[in-house]
Amino acid sequence: MVVFQKTLRNSISCTGVGLHGGKLINMKLSPAPVNSGVVFRRTDVDPAVAEIPAQYDTVTDLMMCTTVENDAHTKVATVEHLMAALSGCGVDNVVVELDGPEVPVMDGSSAPFVFLVECADVIEQEAPRRYIKVLKEVEVSDGSAKASLSPADNISVSFEIDFENPRIGKQNCRFSLRNGTFKNELARARTFGFLSEFEQLKKLGLAKGGSLDNAIVLSGPDILNEEGLRYDDEFVRHKALDAIGDLYLAGAPIIGEFYGFRSGHALNNKLLHAFLSDKDAWCYTTEAPVRIGNVGGAHWPTQKAAAPATD
């Protein structure tokens, strides 16, 4: 079954703090034509150098976030949570206007961006959606961390983390990404860090906008956020969310299974480079993936349904 490309019906704006710069940033999401993909546009610089395609090969900085940059060295940082939301909502083409160098962190999750997309409304366009289908397994590693893409007839992500911190410890999750799964199971999972790390990052000029309003902060085994966790396994769910955002920089949804063990932005991007540079590992297709049941936590899918996915 062929699924059509999607964009926004209306433009929509928001204002939020940049995680690393700590300054207020205005962001506007606008409709875009077919086959244009996700394009970032800086409104605070010369229009001649303002546009940055959201592509894996425009990624230049992976320290604590994913940053894209054009040939004129215009950058946009912290794109991963917005990219995850666009992926989860099935948005193919959109222009993201920003009057600063990073996407607002909002509450540290993708939920505010999902809300914006839903308010703007998603509409179909007159062109088939193009997918990237995994034909053979590709794996990359860095020490004990590893990430892989392997063939599957659906779009899925599985992740494992292993932290010495007893409040986090070992967690794993697996999700088949179909209509509603991202919004219901992953979008609200927030970024996290340790109080000592935040203090060190601020000394380095990073995480100036970080606070309990936009991150889970731990001091030893204690969670400092008054509201606590949104999911018992919110930590690993957020890592899966990050991976979904990083993978959407491939320029199209990937039909296959992503697996990450202690993987981060740098390894996720390394995987895309290795995968997309191997012409035997993938092909383009307009045939939508098979839809399978909504799964999460440590529960694994056992049955496949007949209807195709729409995202």
Q: What is the pLDDT of residue 25?
A: 97
Residues pairing with 306 in the sheet: none
CB within 8 A of 249, min separation 6: which ones?
54, 55, 56, 58, 59, 66, 68, 79, 83, 269, 272
pLDDT higher at 304 or 88: 88
Q: What's the CATH architecture for 131-308?
A: 2-Layer Sandwich (3.30)
3-state secondary structure 66-106: CEEECCCCCEEECCHHHHHHHHHCCCCCEEEEECCCECECC
Mean of pLDDT values over 193-199? 82
Distance CA 248, CA 297 (A): 22
Tell me the two tokens of residue 224. 């400092």
C-alpha neighbours within 13 Å on the C-beta side of residue 10: 7
Q: What is the mean pLDDT of residues 173-185?
A: 93
- What positions carry a catalytic annotation? 265
Burial of 211 (0-12, 13-18, 19+ CB in 10 A): middle
Instruction: Quickly state the pLDDT bin for 295 (edges 50, 70, 90).
Output: very low
Largest alpha-carbon pair distance within the chain? Answer: 54
How does DSSP classify residue 156?
A: E
**With the CA atoms of 77, 81, 85 and 88 taken in that order, what torsion angle do they form, in degrees rounded to the nearest 10?**
120
Tokens of 257: 């299974």
Residue with tokens 């993201």: 96
- What ranges do the domains of the chain cover? 4-128, 131-308
pLDDT tens, residue by residue, 205-226: 666 788 899 999 999 999 999 9
| pLDDT of 303 over the 70 cut | no
pLDDT of residue 299: 29
Q: Which two tokens stand for residue 277?
A: 């540079």
* Amino acid in position 155: I
- The yes-or-no answer to whether 4-128 and 131-308 have a common fold is no
Mean pLDDT value of segment 219-248: 97
Q: Does residue 59 surpass a pLDDT of 80? A: yes
Question: What is the topology classification, in CATH, of domain 4-128?
Answer: Ribosomal Protein S5; domain 2 (3.30.230)
Structure tokens at 252: 């199209």
CB 208 within 8 A of CB 157: no
Mean pLDDT across 169-190: 95
* 294 touches 178 (CB < 8 A): yes
pLDDT at 296: 34
What pLDDT sits at residue 206? 65
Share of the chain above pLDDT 70, in %: 91
310 pLDDT band, cuts 50/70/90, is very low
What is the model's pLDDT at position 298?
Answer: 31
Q: What is the mean pLDDT of residues 156-164?
A: 97
- pLDDT, position 110: 98
